[in-house]
Amino acid sequence: MRSISKILFVLIVLAMAMPAYAAIDGPQLLVQIDRNLNPESYELYRKLINIEPDGKKKEYTLFSVKKGVDNVAALFLAPASDKGRSTLRVGDNMWLYIPNVGKPIRITSLQSVIGGIFNNADILNLDYSAEYNVEKVNETGKEYLLYLKAKNKTVAYDRLKMWVDKDKKIPIRIECLTEANMLIKTLYFKDIKNFGGGIVRPAVIETDSPLYKGYKSVMIFAKIKNKDFKDEVFTLTFMPNMESLR
């Protein structure tokens, strides 16, 4: 009996001496990933390139602004045929403004104002934590793997699998899935760059899809900076005036 008591005592001492590993807080980690990707409110410039299987390319240049959780707007700067167009997202609602056409028209998250694999939800993207709940987090070597579930049916993708650099807390790859776990597209985050103002993030996002074999779309970020905007910027009446923000 004494030997058993001694063994139990040793086991207890060893257990107390071992470092305690706290469980990963999935929602907090996702918020941190969001902030590492973008400030909560910002302006940025980016180029979107659609590449066809034969190598043919079509390029767009956009100026974008965001405020808070769910207000995003973008202005087309190029090509000349699209210059002056603007898009607006407020929560789940999206609109496209075309000069000389009249009032803004409704668009949906799964449509694409530029064609290619990036849809409107990718172009007018909100924080991941605004649209997804974290179901679980796994640790795999130098990465976290987050399993995300859409908060409602209006979100573009039912599920996401997000591989994240454990040190930088920045996505490496995201698989976008249907509710039945069918792969829709994969996003690849590349070329970590210091944009200044404490913003260090991927400068390039590429995407491909098993639904569009041979096609690829690329998003290249040129400038990102913290900036706040008045609420009126994210209204239908302001859409024709987005050039005034530059």
CATH number assigned to the domain comprising residue 112? 2.50.20.10
Domain-located, residue 14: no
Structural domain contains residue 164: yes
- Would you say residue 16 lies in a domain? no
Determine the pLDDT at residue 6: 57
Q: Is residue 1 part of a domain?
A: no
Range of the domain at 164: 25-245
| Cβ–Cβ < 8 Å for 73, 239 | yes
* Residue 9 domain flag: no
**pLDDT for position 21:** 44
Query: Prior bond to 79 cis, omega within 30?
Result: yes
Residue 5, pLDDT score: 57
Residue 12 lies in a domain: no
Predicted pLDDT of residue 10: 46
Predicted pLDDT of residue 20? 41
In a domain, 62, yes or no: yes
Amino acid sitting at position 100: N
Full-prediction pTM beyond 0.95? Answer: no
Q: What is the pLDDT along the chain (246 residues), one digit of tens a residue?
A: 555 555 555 445 444 444 444 578 999 999 999 999 999 999 999 999 999 999 999 999 999 999 998 999 999 999 999 999 999 999 999 999 999 888 999 999 999 999 999 999 999 999 999 999 999 999 988 999 999 999 999 899 999 999 999 999 999 999 999 999 999 999 999 999 999 999 999 999 999 999 999 999 999 999 999 999 999 999 999 999 999 999
Q: Let me know if residue 138 belongs to a domain.
A: yes
Query: Which tokens hold the place of 34?
Result: 């969001």
DSSP state of 179: T
DSSP 28-70: HHHHHHHHHHS-SSEEEEEEEEEE-TTS-EEEEEEEEEEETTT
pLDDT of residue 7: 54
- Total tally of structural domains belonging to the chain: 1
Return the bridge partners of 200, or none: 194
Residue 22: predicted pLDDT: 53
What distance in Å separates the CA atoms of residue 112 and residue 119, rounded to the nearest whole number? 4
